[in-house]
Every structure is written in structure tokens, then in C-alpha cells.
Chain A
Amino acid sequence: MIAKIVMIIYYLISAFFVAIVLKNFIQEKESRDRALLYLIVLIPFILRLFRVK
């Protein structure tokens, strides 16, 4: 039971990271490198949230 709760919390943390990184990506005006890196960083979090990998 505790393991399941911890697992759900980790999914919520992942969703939070996705929201924060997306916000940074949208607000990024100065650096193309940073914008691209935000997108790349998103990939594993999205794969986990959609339960693909």
C-alpha cells in the first residue's frame, strides 16, 4: 500500500516537472540551445507519464 502511494507521488512529481519545464520552454526568449534542451529533458518524463517506458 505504501509502495503504491509512493509510486503515485512519483507520478505527480513527474507531472510537476513536465509542467515546469514546459513553462520554461514557453517563456524562453534568449537561447535556442536552452529551448531545445528543455524539449529533450521532457522526453523521459512524458514517456513515463504515458506509461510507455
Chain B
Amino acid sequence: MKKVSSTFKITASAMVLALLVVGGWPLYRHRASSMEVVCGPGVTEILMLSDFLPDLRNTAADTPVFVLSGTEPGGSALIIGNTHANEPEGLLAAALIVENAVVKKGTLYVIPCFNRSASLNTRPGEGYPVYFSVETPWGKKKFRMGNRDASPLDQWPDPDVYIHFPEKQMLSYLDIRNTNRTWPGRHNGMPMEQVTFAAMELLRNHKVDLAIDLHGAETMFPVTNCIVAPEKSMRIATLAALTVKAVEGFESHVESSPEKFRGLSHREIGDYSDTLPFLLEAPIPFLDQPTGPKSEQLFLDGRDEFLLSLSRRKKLFVSYDESGWPLERRVGQHLSVSLEIIKQYSRRHPGRAIIVENVPRYSEVVEKGIGYYFQNPATAKKEKVITF
């Protein structure tokens, strides 16, 4: 066996140091990067989630809450994106609402990046892109691609078993960092429990009528391309699903929220507040396991030959052809279904109606692209540009 000389030690240390710098620098840059949203004409106030739970202030979990109030009093709705930061369709749909919506009646609360810590996290081992960009008339708009769970840098260590509060159901240890398993949260819990608790405080204190949580799911997963709703939201969800199919021509079926699976927004928001919860799932081929490389292009156009082959064998839960499932369709669906839920609720509760205008619907987003509706942060007034 060769002896370990000082020269060997110095050389090996230098190589490992180089490896650390080359591998660590992009991760450091990702965590230090920020995303921009330009406040549109409808934004009347910008709050922070920490306004509802001060313990979150100055932490990576704190995130902006955009308020769009109408001139007439009415009901209110909360729209949440990036609960899972590897499903950024919700982030894009929420950002489009912030940049474009004008509320005539009632109030919209929009949290584009609900699990901000997860958006600062990267997914190890699967070769995910660290960023993605959408084309706009003024250039490319860049977004962070995050992970499903909050970063261990912000919440660590994980328990051996995550015991949900307050239902005491035993869940996977990882789900303690998953903000769609920590509802309704607790004020003195782990940071992600605090995030959902703060959102519950918003819902309860402001008597919010509707909560819409925007997600995405694999095409091979049965709960995809759908609205998940508990019993109390089922009527509105069904009417919204039927209407978008009849009027806009796309499918978004209704799935029932399981009563015994705890921690999910569509279950706990309904059980622990008067708000009607809905969770929207858009199909994201990028998330499926048997695809080609997890490239930015696959994320954007959702086209994959392996999935196409599986579709021919009827192994997918959505229709799938050569055109894939482009980002425009996924974001457009979220916008149309969200607007339809608000509209159906408003029809049945005129005293608590919410009237939202100037938000593009499915066909417009598919035709013009997502980027068409984003404002240029470089030319916007500085106070209108919010970073997170």
C-alpha cells in the first residue's frame, strides 16, 4: 500500500475543494436569487405572511401576500401558488393574476410563492433544471425551479416519523417540510407548520370565502387534471368543472378529498375554517418518472416520446399526443378553473360576490403565451416590483 505523502494530501484537498466550489456555487447562486412580480393595476396592498404570524418575520419562509380589493364590498378568495415549488404552474398563474387582475367587487388575496423555502431548494439526484424561463415580448423572464419540500437549511432535522397536528396521523418524515401536509399548522410548530398556520389566520381573520391551491401532478398519477374538493366545496367544484368543459372545451374532473388523509389544504382548510377549499391539479409530464432527460424544454412543452408510447398503451390518466402538455395549457387551465370557481360561488352568494376582470382565460393564454401577460420589471416603477 502506498504511503500518504504531503504532496498527495495537498493535491487531493485541492481537487475536493475545486469539486466543492464547482458543485456548490450554482446551488449558492440559486438560493441567493430572487424572482420578480410587477404589481398590476388591481393591487391595493402588499402584506407579508409574517403579518399573520410574526415568528415568520426575517425567515426564508416569509412571503408576500398581494391584496386586490374592489371598490364594492363583497366576498373574498385566497389563491395560492408554489405550495410545491417543483410545480410552478401555480406560481405563474398567481403571478399573472397579480400583474393583470382588476377586482371590481370583493377582495382577492394572492400568495404566488407559498412555500418560499421550497422555491430556494433544489431537487437532488434527478437532474432537474435549476431555473426555467418563459418568452415575453421584452425578453426572457426567469424563475427558480424549486423542490417539493422546504429546504433543510430552513427546517432541520426531520423527525423519524412526522405526527400531524392536531389529528396525530403518522406521515412520512419528509412531509414535515411539505406545506400540503402541514395544514392547519400550529403557531409554535416547525416553520412549515407555521406557514400554514399563518395562512389559516389570514383565512379566519379576514373571513375568506374561497381558498384555491394551485398544483400539478404526473400524467401517470390518478389524481391529475382535476379539482380536488371536500364535501362542502363539491357543488361549486362540479359546476366549475362542467362549465369549463362545456364553454372552454377542456377537461378538469372533480375528485373527492379523502376524509382520513390529513394535512392537505383541501381537507384541513375546510375542517378548521369556514372557507371552501379547492385544490387544482394540472398534468405536468415533467414530473413523471419514465421520461427522457428532465430538461427545461420538457418542462415547457411537456413533450416526451416515452410518455407518448405509454399513452398509446393507455397507461396515462390524461389524453396525450405529439403536442404534449405545454405550460400554456397548464397555466391557462388553472386561471380558467379558478375564475370559474369564483364565478360559480358569486352566483350562489350574491351578497359575497367577487368580481374579477382582466385575467386571461385558457384560450387566450394558449394563443398568446404566458409571457405576453407579464410586465417588464426593468421598465416598471421600482416600488411596483416585488421580489421574493
Which residues does chain A contribute within 8 Å of B191, judged by CB atoms? 3
Are B157 and A32 in touch, CB under 8 angstroms? no
SS class, residues of chain A in contact with chain B: helix
Are A53 and B3 in touch, CB under 8 angstroms? no
**How far does the alpha carbon of A10 sit from the alpha carbon of B377 in the complex, in Å?**
40
Which residues does chain B contribute within 8 Å of A25, judged by CB atoms? 9
Number of A-B contacts (CB under 8 A): 56
**How far does the alpha carbon of A7 sit from the alpha carbon of B12 in the complex, in Å?**
31
Are B9 and A7 in touch, CB under 8 angstroms? no
CB of A35 closer than 8 Å to a CB of B: yes
On whether A53 and B27 interact (CB within 8 A), knowing A7-B156, A30-B4, A43-B20, the answer reads: yes
CB of B246 closer than 8 Å to a CB of A: no
**How far does the alpha carbon of A3 sit from the alpha carbon of B190 in the complex, in Å?**
6
Known: A30-B1, A53-B27, A53-B124. 16 other contacts (CB 8 A): A3-B155, A3-B189, A7-B156, A25-B9, A30-B4, A31-B4, A32-B2, A35-B4, A39-B12, A42-B16, A43-B19, A43-B20, A47-B27, A48-B152, A52-B24, A52-B28
Closest residue of chain B to A33, judged by CB? Answer: B1
* 26 A-B contacts (beta carbon < 8 Å): A3-B189, A3-B191, A7-B155, A7-B156, A7-B157, A10-B157, A25-B9, A29-B3, A30-B1, A30-B4, A31-B1, A32-B2, A35-B4, A35-B8, A35-B9, A35-B12, A39-B13, A40-B16, A43-B16, A47-B20, A48-B152, A48-B153, A51-B153, A52-B24, A52-B27, A53-B122
Are B20 and A10 in touch, CB under 8 angstroms? no
How many whole Å from B53's CB to the nearest CB in chain A?
14
B interface with A by C-beta (< 8 Å): 1-4, 8-9, 12-13, 16, 19-20, 24, 27-28, 31, 122, 124, 152-153, 155-157, 188-191
CB of A15 closer than 8 Å to a CB of B: no
Closest residue of chain B to A9, judged by CB? Answer: B157
Closest residue of chain A to B17, judged by CB? Answer: A39
How many whole Å from A13's CB to the nearest CB in chain B?
10
**How far does the alpha carbon of A50 sit from the alpha carbon of B24 in the complex, in Å?**
10
Closest residue of chain B to A3, judged by CB? Answer: B190
Residues of A in contact (CB 8 Å), total: 25
Which residues does chain B contribute within 8 Å of A19, judged by CB atoms? none
Which residues does chain A contribute within 8 Å of B24, judged by CB atoms? 47, 50, 52-53
CB of A36 closer than 8 Å to a CB of B: yes
